[in-house]
Structure 1
């Protein structure tokens, strides 16, 4: 049942209440985040800011289900489709771009509405980001090679001798995080814990940011994923992936790993049928939504979990209050 109510004074109240406030809308892929953000922005004089790590790439409008040009004409949108697929866009760069966008939206007297499914973006926005400098590729490669040869437990034992604070935080078998802690220590001479302590502060005051995570029945979400993937195929996703493949970019770049892209590339090279590619893309997306739900549940305490139709009503009260 819909909890929406009409509010003829919504835009005026949004202007008055926006100040340094913001509304954050997260949720699994295909949960209706963009449509909800659009309705909220129209009601409260808002600007929509992208918080999805794949929708930043200009090459991927269709396959990442970016807002349509018609939707972008209805309210201002920022941070969509402005990065080339050849770039390895990072959470640190997004933080810098998001800060500039937030400041601009607030100066305009509008309400920023950040929407997306990338948990690390929201965590950095509300909890800050560590200031770890880039690790030289040769250092990273050397540590990963040692991890392959000696095992994560051996590297954890070394970390315990050299950086007991980080070793205490990590499980001996956590290969990725143990290697990361050791490579930062090798590259900088400082503990990763020290860098995290001295990192970038949160960009939003906790009391002024309202976060919502959209809850959708699992079977319904799976149905939406299937419908959306089929619709993307009908509206140019294959041409988009073909154009991307013709650039011969590094397959490890983030844009080359967007859901559906690897499967459709395999179809284009004749390895599999289009039906197999579509099923593979849909299955990957379904698995990703499960990880999104688990990650937000553990990493973002204090957010309000609601069905999409209930968020507009609750958000309206928060913005007006």
Structure 2
């Protein structure tokens, strides 16, 4: 686990060179097909070197829930262990990690018809008005959800309508059973936040050089999307979308994307600080691969060279 640009994919591949693992992506953006550059998906060489799972599952106009992730991850992990290998979960979507480790609350599944109704009402009245409606139905959820966070407002309202009770009330109840495995939790934490921000800036410039703008343009031309689509709410994609819609210029697009990515990293670090029984490593350390390998060997994992 770790914030964006902390080097999770690189360390995962390093682990795969020494232990019998298969990688399970824990990334809510990498589930989308065609979104390769902006999500920093593993390249073809990496995918050929070691099996990767939960990448390229859906099209950009489709939705993917945390409940789907938990189910898909458990299926992938079972299949990996049946082959005699170890599931190595790597990514930065902390909500996915937490729900997989702790179990899901008994929330009703998504209802596409109801979601369309909520979206239609929001188009007419605005998301601030929908937030006011949530405030009446579920004050506790409304207090923790920003009036501008359309995705979470929609989900909270959906739960209220489907369950007939506030989502906050359901979340207080005991969760379903958590992960049926022994979890070795590794977190890559930057010892210098400024250095992480430099990595973020360098990586975004590299994405632009690789063709991020053309990637977003091709997706926009091929699929029926808008700026509220889950795929286009991903950091980087949202700002490039605004640029292509001529809402902002190139310089502003860069500034907004970097600011959003830094905010994402801050949220990821906040999530990580709340998680228990975790071994932290400085992602900026020069000997990070050796540190992680040594720690894994100390936990009892048996090394095996992957050919």
Q: TM-score, normalised by structure 1?
A: 0.77
Once the two structures are superposed, the pairs formed by residues 42-81 of structure 1 within 5 Å of their partners are 42-81=17-56
Residue 290 (structure 1) aligned to one of 266, 271, 285: 266
Once the two structures are superposed, the pairs formed by residues 1-321 of structure 1 within 5 Å of their partners are 26-133=1-108, 134=110, 136-137=114-115, 148=129, 151=132, 155=136, 170=140, 173-174=143-144, 184-189=159-164, 192=167, 193-194=169-170, 197=173, 199-205=175-181, 208-216=182-190, 217-246=192-221, 247-298=223-274, 300-308=275-283, 309=288, 310-320=291-301
Contact kept? 1:58, 1:85, Cα under 8 Å: yes
Q: Distance in 2 between matches of 1:63 and 1:96?
A: 25
In the TM superposition, what whole-angstrom CA distance separates every residue of 1:129-157 from its partner, at most 9, and x where no partner exists?
112113633885799879838958962xx
Structure with bigger gyration radius: 1
Q: 1:98 to 1:254 in 2, by over 3 A?
A: same
Higher deviation after alignment, 239-248 or 310-319:
310-319
Contact kept? 2:4, 2:92, Cα under 8 Å: yes
What's the C-alpha RMSD, in Å, of the aligned pairs? 3.1
In the TM superposition, what whole-angstrom CA distance separates every residue of 1:65-98 from its partner, at most 9, and x where no partner exists?
1111111111111111222111111111111111
Unaligned residue ranges in structure 1 (runs of 5+) = 1-25, 160-166
Q: 1:272 to 1:49 in 2, by over 3 A?
A: same
**SS at 1:275's partner residue?**
helix
Unaligned residue ranges in structure 2 (runs of 5+) = 147-151, 303-307
Q: Distance in 2 between matches of 1:55 and 1:264?
A: 17
Q: Distance in 2 between matches of 1:244 and 1:235?
A: 16
**SS at 2:299's partner residue?**
helix
Q: 1:288 to 1:274 in 2, by over 3 A?
A: same
Q: 1:153 to 1:72 in 2, by over 3 A?
A: closer
| Count of matched residue pairs | 282
Q: Distance in 2 between matches of 1:294 and 1:182?
A: 26
Q: TM-score, normalised by structure 2?
A: 0.80
Q: Distance in 2 between matches of 1:271 and 1:178?
A: 25
Query: What's the offset of the Cα at 1:182?
Result: 7.0
In the TM superposition, what whole-angstrom CA distance separates every residue of 1:291-310 from its partner, at most 9, and x where no partner exists?
11012212x22222221313
Q: 1:270 to 1:105 in 2, by over 3 A?
A: same
